[in-house]
């Protein structure tokens, strides 16, 4: 029997609140949605937002509703162009220093780095390309016009782990690291040998 070849190490990073100081998803919606859609959206979202604040509506459900209201019917080309500018000019102002330094350390060690996020591909794709890291995230559906839904569902909770396992054979890595900041990252962290929640190493 030949010994199984074990490759380099893998680092899995949540994005919003883990690599950044703010919820970048919300910032993008606020930056890029037109004023009249914002006005209409605030009215439409109001009852859902109240339910969310009262703990009656889960974060992923709230995010899906907000995505539909803000993105449905919009031209994909326009949203992606806005995403590129947002990635180039805005995101850098919200880096969480410790986490970004940690990501750079993994890259310097030759580890494979992957952002695994419920945030949107419109801005994460160009950002990850500029940072030379891989990406697994929520992908907006619709070819010419966006539907306001996701191609393969919201990339959160169990879906994060499932999508990682679909792409990577973890036993081919000598060590797996994972970084998160909320309960939505628990399943992602469970994949790792070394896990960090809000910068704190878990036992």
Mean pLDDT of the chain: 90
Is the pLDDT at 147 greater than 80? The verdict is yes
Is the pLDDT at 26 greater than 70? The verdict is yes
pTM of the model: 0.90
Contact, 132 vs 107, CB < 8 A?
yes
Residues 77-97: pLDDT tens digits?
Answer: 999 999 999 999 999 999 999
Q: How confident is the model at residue 61 (pLDDT cuts 50, 70, 90)?
A: confident
DSSP 194: E
Q: How far apart are CA 28 and CA 35, in angstroms?
A: 14
Q: What percent of the chain has pLDDT over 90?
A: 76
Instruction: Specify the pairing of strand 194-197 against strand 200-201.
Output: antiparallel
Q: How confident is the model at residue 2 (pLDDT cuts 50, 70, 90)?
A: very low
Phi and psi, residue 26, nearest 5°: -65, -40
Query: Structural domain boundaries of the chain?
Result: 10-22+75-201
Average pLDDT over residues 108-133: 98
Say which residues have a Cβ less than 8 Å from residue 6's Cβ, sequence separation at least 6. 171, 172, 173, 174
Specify whether domain 10-22+75-201 bears CATH 3.40.50.1000. Answer: yes
Say which residues have a Cβ less than 8 Å from residue 131's Cβ, sequence separation at least 6. 103
Say which residues have a Cβ less than 8 Å from residue 76's Cβ, sequence separation at least 6. 140, 142, 143, 144, 145, 146
What string of DSSP letters covers 123-149? HHHHHHHHHT-EEEEE-B--SSB--SS
Average pLDDT over residues 52-69: 78
Q: How far apart are CA 22 and CA 25, in angstroms?
A: 9
Q: How far apart are CA 82 and CA 23, in angstroms?
A: 17
**Count of alpha carbons within 13 angstroms of residue 48, beta-carbon side:** 17
Q: How far apart are CA 37 and CA 79, in angstroms?
A: 14
């Amino acid at each position: 029997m030949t010994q199984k070849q074990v490759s380099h190490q893998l680092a899995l990073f949540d994005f919003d609140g883990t690599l950044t100081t703010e919820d970048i998803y919300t910032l993008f919606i606020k930056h890029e949605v037109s004023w009249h859609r914002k006005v209409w959206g605030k009215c439409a979202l109001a009852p859902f937002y109240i339910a969310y604040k009262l703990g009656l509506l889960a974060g992923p459900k709230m995010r899906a509703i907000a995505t539909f209201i803000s993105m449905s019917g919009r031209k994909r080309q326009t949203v992606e162009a806005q995403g590129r500018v947002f990635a180039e000019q805005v995101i850098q102002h919200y880096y969480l220093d410790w986490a970004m330094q940690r990501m750079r350390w993994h890259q310097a060690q030759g580890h494979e780095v992957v952002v695994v996020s419920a945030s949107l591909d419109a801005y994460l794709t160009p950002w990850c390309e500029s940072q030379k890291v891989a990406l697994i995230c929520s992908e907006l559906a619709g070819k010419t016009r966006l539907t306001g839904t996701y191609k393969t569902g919201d990339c959160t909770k169990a879906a994060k782990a499932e999508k990682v396992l679909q792409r990577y054979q973890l036993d081919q890595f000598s060590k797996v690291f994972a970084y998160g900041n909320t309960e939505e990252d628990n399943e992602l962290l469970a994949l790792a040998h070394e896990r960090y929640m809000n910068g704190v190493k878990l036992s």
